[in-house]
Amino acid sequence: MSIPLTVETLCGGGAVEALHFEVQRALDNIADPNTEAKKTREVTLKIKIKPNDARNMATVMVQTSSKLIPAAPLETAIIIDMDGNKAVAAELYGGENPGQLTLPEVAPVAHNVSQFKKEATNA
């Protein structure tokens, strides 16, 4: 006795498994705070059936795909200066002022300003 052909039985259950995988990818993409929330995601299940000349057998191709929303681009600010004939750059971190990295007659620093540790007092 043969098993009736359904989407659930197609490819030994592999068609539904592949569809579930793509749906999960879409859900994960929706949950990602780096993507736009209101944009539509799309999941596709494509089934191609190619019969033989006698029309008594066919090859079935199952393919799934999804169209997801890309993560929003990351943005930062850098300060650019010259070190002799070579351009150098340092990333600015939140709240920094571009001028704070340079002092008169002192070469620019290409990293964050370090904080000195306070000495412990015996009071």
pLDDT tens digit sequence for 39-72: 999 999 999 999 999 999 999 999 999 999 999 9
In sequence order, the β-bridge partners of residue 90 are 79
Answer yes or no: do 59 and 17 share one domain.
yes
pLDDT in tens, 13-26: 999 999 999 999 99
Is residue 123 in some structural domain? no
Which of the two residues, 10 and 99, has the higher pLDDT score? 10
Is residue 88 in some structural domain? yes
Whole-number Å distance between alpha carbons of 48 and 14: 15
Answer yes or no: do 17 and 60 share one domain.
yes
**What domain range is 85 assigned to?**
76-117
Domains in the chain, number:
2
Whole-number Å distance between alpha carbons of 63 and 19: 9
Is residue 122 in some structural domain? no
Say if pTM beats, i.e. exceeds, 0.75. Answer: no
